[in-house]
Amino acid sequence: MLVDAVAGHRWMYVLAVVFVCLATLGVGALGFRLSRTTSDFYVAGRAVTPRWNASAIGGEYLSGASFLGVAGLIFVSGTDMLWYAVGYTAGYVVLLILVAAPLRRSGAYTLPDFAQIRLRSTAVRRTASVLVVGIGWLYLLPQLLGAGRALQVTTGAPRWLGALVVLGVVLANVLAGGMRSLTFVQAFQYWLKLTAIAAPVVLLLAVWHTDGGASATQAGGADWTSPLTGAEHPLYRTYSLLVALLFGTMGLPHVLVRLYTNPDGRAARRTVLVVVGLLGLFYLFPPVYAGLGRIYAPDLATADLLGGGPHGEMVVLLLPGRMLGAPWGDLVSALLTAGAFAAFLSTSSGLTIAVAGVLSQDLLRGRFRSSVRGFRVGAVLAVVPPAVASLLQVRTGLADTVGLAFALAASTFCPLLVLGIWWRRLTRAGAIAGMVVGGLSAGAAVVLTVSGTVGGGWAGALLGLPAAWTLPLAFAVTVLVSLATRPPGGVAPVMVRLHAPESLQLGSPGPGA
C-alpha cells in the first residue's frame, strides 16, 4: 500500500525530479561541445585533473545504495550496518595502495585492455569482457529498482516510470558526449547529492533538539543501535561484507574506467586520495537519518510500502514528513528526492559508459568495433538487460543487491589485478581459471539470493554474502594454476611499465594508450 505521507504535495517531487534531469542534461551539453575524438568518448582525452576526477568518481560511486540504502540498513539492522559506510570508503584505500597508479600507467582504456597488455591473450581479454558486462548489469539493476521505488513512494507513479526516466537521461548524455560529458555531469551530481543529504540534517536535528532530544524509548522502540531483526551468523556476515567492499571496489568497471582519464599514475593516486575524503564527508549523514527514523518513524522498518515486502531505505524520503509536517516536510523530502535521483543517474551513467566501452571494443564486430558509433550502440545494449530485470519482483534491498555486485567484482577482478600488477608468475591459464571459478561461484550465489530461493541458516549466510569464501577460492585457483603452467614471455617490460614513473619510461606506449 502506498504511503499517504506525501500525497498532498506530489507536484514538489515531480518538480524536483524534473529539475535534476534537466540540470543533468544541461551540464552534459557542455561536455558534448568538447567531445570530438574517440579518446574523448572513452577516457575524456586522458586530461581530467585529480579534483575534477575525484568529484566525478564520488558522483558515480555514491549510488542509490549509498544515498538511501545505507540509512535504510542502519535503520532496520542497527549500527552493525555502519560497516557498509566504512567499507565503501575504505575500499578506495586498498585501491590507492595496490592498483591506482600501475593501472593508469598500463595505458589501457578498459579493464580487458589491462588484461591483454599484462598477459597478451585474447582469451583472457574475452573472459574479462564478459565479466565486466555481467558486473555492470548487476550493479545497474539496483539503480533502476531504486529509481522506480523512490518515484512510486513520492509521486504515486508506476514503478517502471522511474527506471524509464533514468535510462532516458543517461542515454541522452552518454550517446551525446561520452566520458567527456559525464565528467562534468558526475562532478556536478556529487555536490548536488552532498547538499541534498546534508542540508536537511541541520533542520531535522534542530527539530529533534526542540523536542528535547526525544529518546527511542519514548518513541516505543528499543535502543536504535540494536537490530530490529536478528541476522543469523552475524560474525561471518560482517567479515564477508568487509571482504566484498574492501576488495570489490577495485573490480568495479565504472570506478576503474575513471582512473584511465587521469593524465598519469601520480594524478590517479591523488584522485583516489581526494575521493576518500569526499566519501568520508558524505557518509557522515546517512546514520543521522537512521537514528531519527528509529525515533520518529519506527513503523517504516516493517511497513509494506510498495508491495513485495518492506523497504526500509525509504525512511530517508519519508522522515521529513513525519518530523516537519506539510508543507515543509514535503519541501525537504523533495530536495532529498532530487539527491536520490542524482545518485541513480550518476551511477547508472558510469556503469553504462563502462559497459558500452567493453561491448564496443570486445564484443561488437565490423564497423561498430572501437568507434564512436560502436560506443553508442554499446550504450544502448548496456541498459537493455537490467531494464528488463527491473520489471521483475526483486525483494532484496538496494544496498544488499549492490553488496552482491561487490562480491562478484572482488571474486573475479581482484585476483587478476593484484596478481597481475604485483606477481610476475601469473599466467594466462591461471588468470582465466581464477576469473571463471570466482565468477561462477559468486554468480551462482547472486542468482540464488536475488531470486529469493535462499533460505536461512548457514546456506543463507554463505550465499547472501559470499565474498569470504569466493575471493580466497579465486585467489587459490589463480595461484595454483599459474604455478602449474608457463607464464607468457616479455613480462619484464610490462612490469617496468606498470611500476616505473612515466618520466623514466622509454619507448612507445602499448594498446589503448
CATH 1.10.150.120 fits 4-397, yes or no: no
Classify residue 53 by burial, with Cβ atoms within 10 Å: 0-12, 13-18, 19+: buried
Query: What pLDDT, in 10s, does the model give residues 157-179?
Result: 888 898 999 999 988 877 776 67
Distance CA(6)–CA(327), nearest Å, equals 10
State the DSSP string of 416-470: HHHHHHH-TT--HHHHHHHHHHHHHHHHHHHHHHHTT---SHHHHHHHHS-HHHH
When comparing pLDDT for 372 and 347, which is higher?
347
The pLDDT confidence band at residue 69, using thresholds 50, 70 and 90, is confident
Assess contact for 304 and 87: CB atoms under 8 A. Answer: no
> C-alpha angle 113/119/120, rounded to 5°?
75
What are 383's three cell numbers?
541498459
The pLDDT confidence band at residue 214, using thresholds 50, 70 and 90, is low
What are 1's three cell numbers?
500500500
383 phi, psi to nearest 5 deg: -100, -10
Query: What pLDDT, in 10s, does the model give residues 82-119?
Result: 888 899 999 998 988 898 888 888 877 778 889 999 99
Residue 234 has pLDDT above 90, yes or no: no
Residue 362 has pLDDT above 90, yes or no: no
Assess contact for 128 and 413: CB atoms under 8 A. Answer: yes
Mean pLDDT, residues 271-284 taken together: 92
DSSP label of 359: I
Classify residue 82 by burial, with Cβ atoms within 10 Å: 0-12, 13-18, 19+: middle
DSSP label of 360: I
pLDDT score recorded for residue 220: 43
The pLDDT confidence band at residue 286, using thresholds 50, 70 and 90, is very high
Q: Per-residue b/e over 93-107, b at no fewer than 16 CB within 10 Å?
A: ebbbebbbbbbbbbb
Mean pLDDT, residues 181-198 taken together: 89
Assess contact for 351 and 140: CB atoms under 8 A. Answer: yes
Mean pLDDT, residues 405-420 taken together: 94
Q: Which range, of 162-176, 202-216, 358-372, 454-468, averages the lowest pLDDT?
A: 358-372
When comparing pLDDT for 389 and 221, which is higher?
389
Tell which residue, 393, 391, 5, has the closest CA to residue 161: 391
Distance CA(253)–CA(175), nearest Å, equals 19
Alpha-helix residue ranges (DSSP H) falling in 48-158: 50-61, 64, 70-77, 82-98, 100-105, 111-119, 122-155
Q: By percentage, how much of the chain surpasses pLDDT 70?
A: 84
Rounded to two decimals, the pTM is 0.85
Classify residue 156 by burial, with Cβ atoms within 10 Å: 0-12, 13-18, 19+: middle
Collapsing DSSP to helix, strand or coil, 45 comes out as: helix
Q: Which range, of 323-332, 396-405, 455-464, averages the lowest pLDDT?
A: 396-405
Cα dihedral sign, 469-62-385-381: negative
The pLDDT confidence band at residue 423, using thresholds 50, 70 and 90, is very high
Mean pLDDT, residues 303-309 taken together: 59
Query: What pLDDT, in 10s, does the model give residues 237-256?
Result: 889 999 999 999 988 888 87
Residue 367 has pLDDT above 60, yes or no: no
- Residue 227 vs residues 80, 399, 418, 440, 465: alpha-carbon distances, Å: 8, 16, 36, 32, 18
Residue 506 CB coordination number (10 Å): 6
Residue 33 has pLDDT above 70, yes or no: no
Q: Taking all residues of the chain, what is their mean pLDDT, rounded to a whole number?
A: 83
Distance CA(341)–CA(68), nearest Å, equals 10
pLDDT score recorded for residue 513: 39
Q: Cell 566525478 belongs to which residue?
A: 56
The pLDDT confidence band at residue 219, using thresholds 50, 70 and 90, is very low
Query: What pLDDT, in 10s, does the model give residues 476-507?
Result: 999 999 999 998 888 999 999 898 876 665 44
Distance CA(232)–CA(39), nearest Å, equals 49
Residues shown for the chain: 513
Most confident of 24-28, 267-271, 429-433: 429-433
Q: Per-residue b/e over 457-490, b at no fewer than 16 CB within 10 Å?
A: eeebbbbbbbbbbbbebbbebbbebbeeeebeee
pLDDT score recorded for residue 308: 55
Most confident of 52-61, 113-122, 435-444: 435-444
pLDDT score recorded for residue 358: 84
Distance CA(348)–CA(313), nearest Å, equals 19
Distance CA(419)–CA(406), nearest Å, equals 19
DSSP label of 254: H
Residue 315 has pLDDT above 80, yes or no: yes
